Amino acid sequence: MRVEFTVNGEQYELDTDGDTRLLDYLRDELGLTGVKEGCGVGECGACTVLVEGKPTLSCLTYLPQIDGKEITTIEGLGENGKLHPLQEAFVETGGVQCGFCTPGFIMVSLKLLERNPDPTRKEIREWVEGNICRCTGYTKIVDAVQLAGKWLREKGDKVEL
Amino acid sequence: MGFEILVPENEDELISLMEEGDYQFLAGGTDLFVKIKKDLINPERIIDLTKAIDGPKFQVEQNEVKIKATTTHAELAESSLINKEFPVLASSAGAVGATQLRNMGTIGGNICNASPSADTLIALYLLNADVDLVSSDGRRSLSIKDFITGPGETELASGEYVESITVPKLSGKFRHFFKKVGRRNALDISVCSMGFILKATKEAIEEIRLAYGAVAPTVIRPGAVEDFLQGKTIDKETISRAQRLLKEEISPINDIRGSAEYRETVALRTLEQIRQN
């Protein structure tokens, strides 16, 4: 079938039988390697992207499912070569160690900050419970999300992509 | 591997695609694609239902609410309508998987997978929901209890799909409770899940409905326990008699997530929640 969608604002149109995961298309065809494959079965959150603004697992999503939809990956954040405040906060707090899980954590947390720019540590932990990190012990990831929330509140910015 | 995903745009296209050969349905894909990846199934044709079942997710009638089968768990958990009318459905949908899976997985998918530990099924059993089915022969509705016949087994006929779920409104004020017990909160499949809705005065239980998951081949409503509790005063003695009755109604098994004995202990213990408040 013919599918049309946008990725980070760019329009794409192609024919697909369906047998291509969004994850593979983004990585292999578009070179967006910030999207990571961890478990491949929906248990680790590393492949999280936004579909219509909603955190979605690209390892369990196939191209026909995104027809007409808007996709955002980690590469679509920030502007003019500057990091998005949430990315900046991960750098600042040391929320990144090996980095493999980081794009997934950032993509899922964006939506939390959009709903609530001042989440408690418990709310953050619950929101990211589908994402696994094997390095940080999570403490600094939670710090990063809180710090980004603080920056965004101070600037009076709404969380936008 | 190697499959084709077909995306019918409406009911007619959907029905003719079903008639053209074997198929598997796709809604959110959170179970289907995992099963394919693990080589448990190997379908050639997959029919995506999300475009054919369209329109508003919730339709409020005088005595009931119709929920489209393609409504996601996140949509249920966040809906002000569902939180107001059926808090137990909102909280069970909010307990599913994790943020991403709640954005993807649907209530229709949860029903058709018919897992004995499916979170939202607890609420649908409690609320006496009906499953609305459509095929080229017309429409029919079955109670959730009759629709689900065993683990992973339903009455869904070939050429038929679940269009919506009809939930009768409750009359009066009920306390809604849902609890799942597992090794971790996120992404885990319950060792035991339990819910109830309760209408009671200080003196006695006016109406109670109970549902248990993961302690029998399907979600169950322990009828003997419900009957016994009706009209009773909520005290320690009542609960322990109810626990003895519950023991006869559940049939937990040993599996990788927990032993039968552990499941039974947890199931009986959850009854004590009725005494809170």
Mind giving me the DSSP string for B247-277? HHH-----BTTB-HHHHHHHHHHHGGGGG--
Among residues A43, A76, A109, the one where a domain terminates is A76
The span from the CA of A33 to the CA of A103, in Å, is 10
Chain B residue nearest residue A59, CA to CA: B33
> Is position A146 within any domain?
yes
Closest among A42, A44, A35, A23 to A74, alpha carbons compared = A35
Whether residues A67 and A41 share a domain: the answer is yes
> Is position A94 within any domain?
yes
* Interface pTM, i.e. ipTM: 0.94
The span from the CA of B274 to the CA of A92, in Å, is 48
> Is position A12 within any domain?
yes
> Is position A104 within any domain?
yes
Pick the CATH number of B4-168 from 1.10.3720.10, 3.30.930.10, 3.30.465.10, 2.60.40.1840: 3.30.465.10
Return the CATH number at A11: 3.10.20.30
Return the CATH number at A140: 1.10.150.120
Question: Is A52 in CB contact (< 8 Å) with chain B?
Answer: no
Whether residues A91 and A67 share a domain: the answer is no
pLDDT of residue B187: 59
Question: Looking up tokens 């202990």, which residue turns up?
Answer: B265
Q: Judge: A56–B100 Cβ closer than 8 Å, yes or no.
A: yes
Among residues A76, A98, A124, the one where a domain terminates is A76
Q: Report residue B4 CA to chain centroid gap.
A: 29
| Residue B99 DSSP class | H
Burial per residue of A37-54, b for 16 or more beta-carbon CB atoms within 10 angstroms, e otherwise:
ebebebbbbbbbbbbeeb
Kindly report, residue by residue over B173-203, the tens digit of the pLDDT.
Answer: 999 999 988 776 555 677 889 999 999 988 8
For the domain spanning B175-275, the CATH number is 3.30.390.50
Q: Judge: B6–A1 Cβ closer than 8 Å, yes or no.
A: yes
Domain assignments of chain B as residue spans, ordered by start? 4-168, 175-275
Residues of B in Cβ contact (< 8 Å) with A106: none
> Is position A160 within any domain?
no
Question: Is B36 in CB contact (< 8 Å) with chain A?
Answer: no
Closest among B94, B185, B99 to A114, alpha carbons compared = B99
Least confident of A63-77, B103-117, B157-171, B255-269: B255-269
> Is position A54 within any domain?
yes
Kindly report, residue by residue over A69-121, the tens digit of the pLDDT.
Answer: 999 999 999 988 899 999 999 999 999 999 999 999 999 999 999 999 999 99
Number of domains in chain A: 2
With beta carbons less than 8 A apart as the criterion, state whether B179 and B91 touch: no
What range does the domain containing A7 cover?
A: 2-76
> Is position A120 within any domain?
yes
